[in-house]
Structure 1
Amino acid sequence: MNFFKKLFGKKTGSSNGANQGRANFSGVYSTEHFNERYNEFSLEKDMLDGCLKMIEGYFIDNQIERIIEGPVNHPANLDQVDQSGFGFVLYCQAFELSEGEATMFLAFAFSDYLITKYGFKLYKDQKPDHPLRGMTLKYDKDGVVLSLYPFEYTVKVLKGNETFSALEEKLKANLKELPKVDELLKNFGIGGDK
C-alpha cells in the first residue's frame, strides 16, 4: 500500500500552532489505485533546458545577480525571478508566451530542483482533485508518500501568496518527521494493537 501525506491542505490538530507547517495525513491508497491514477512523467531534456534558459535570460536581461550561483532553479533564485525586476510573467509575454507558459516554466524548473536534490518523482494525475493538480511530485519513504503540486504552488508564488524558499523549508522539516507505515496503520486501526 502507498500512504499519502499532502504538504498543503487544511491544517488539523491543536490550535496552539504545534502542527503548523507539518504535513497532514490524507489517506491510504492501494498500489493498484495508485497505478491507475498516476503515470510517471519525465521532463524532456530539451523542454527543461528551454525553461532554465528563460530563467537565466531573465537574470541577464534584467541585470540581476543571482542569490545562489547554481543551480539557476534553486528556490532562492526562483523567488528572485518572481520578486525582482519587472516580473517573469511580463518577461515571457514580451516573447509572446502566455502566463500559463511562464507558470509552467517555473513549475518545471522547481520540479527538476526537487527531483535532483530530494529524489522526488514527477507524475501526471489522471483524475486530479483540482484543475491545477494535474502534475504532482511524490516522495516515497518506505511506503509513506509526500505529495506536492508544483503548478498549483507556482500559481500561489506568482500571486504573491507563497515563495519557493518557504516551500523548501517546509519540505525539509516534513521529510525529517515522516511517520513510519506501522504508526499510520495503527492510527487508522489497521493491523497491530489499537
Structure 2
Amino acid sequence: MLQNHLKKYQIILASKSPRRSQLLKELGIDFSIENKNIAEIYPPGLDNHEVALYLSQLKADPFKQEIQNTNKLVITSDTIVCLGQEILGKPTDRDLAIAMLQKLSDQVHEVITGVTLTSAHKTKSFTVATKVYFKALQQDEIVSYIDQYKPFDKAGGYGIQEWIGMIGIEKIEGSYFNVMGLPVQRLYTELYHF
C-alpha cells in the first residue's frame, strides 16, 4: 500500500487549490498544506509541456532550502489549458472568463499538468496531458455558468466537475482528474516509486 511506503515522509501539498487537496485526500495520503507566493512567469520559447513542468518546478524552488535535513516530501503542480499554442490562464474577470469559454466552444483543447516531487535527496518531475472536446456552447450557457460558478481560480475559466463540464464536454482522451488539476493515477505511481 502507498500509505505504508510513504510513512518515512512528511508530505506537504504546496497548493491553494481545494480540488487538489480533495483528490490527494481521496488517495488516502496524510499531508499538510503549505503555500509560497511565487510569480507564475515562464521564459518565452517553451512548448506547452515545458511551461507546465517549468511552473511546477518553480513552485518547488522556495522549499528546497528549508527541507534539507528533513523527511519532508513536497508536491507542487501547475495546470495549464492550451488551445493550440495559446495558453489560457486563470481569467481575471467576468469578461475574460466569458471570452475564454467562447474560444473553447466547439474546439478540442489540451489540459497539461506539471507535477514536481521534491525531498531533501531527490526530485522527480513529470507532465500529464488530457484532450478535452467541447460541444458548441450557447452564449446563455456560458454566461449563466460564469455568473453562477465564478470560475476565476481555474485555468481556462471552467471546472470539468461543474455544470459546464456536465453539459458541455462531449468526451476526453486521458485522465479526468488531470483536468480537475491533479493526475492522481500517475501521481500515485510516481509516489510509490519515489
User: Structure 1 length as normaliser, TM-score?
Assistant: 0.25
Q: Which has the larger radius of gyration?
A: 1
The structure in which a higher percent of residues are helix is 1
The structure in which a higher percent of residues are strand is 2
User: Structure 2 length as normaliser, TM-score?
Assistant: 0.25
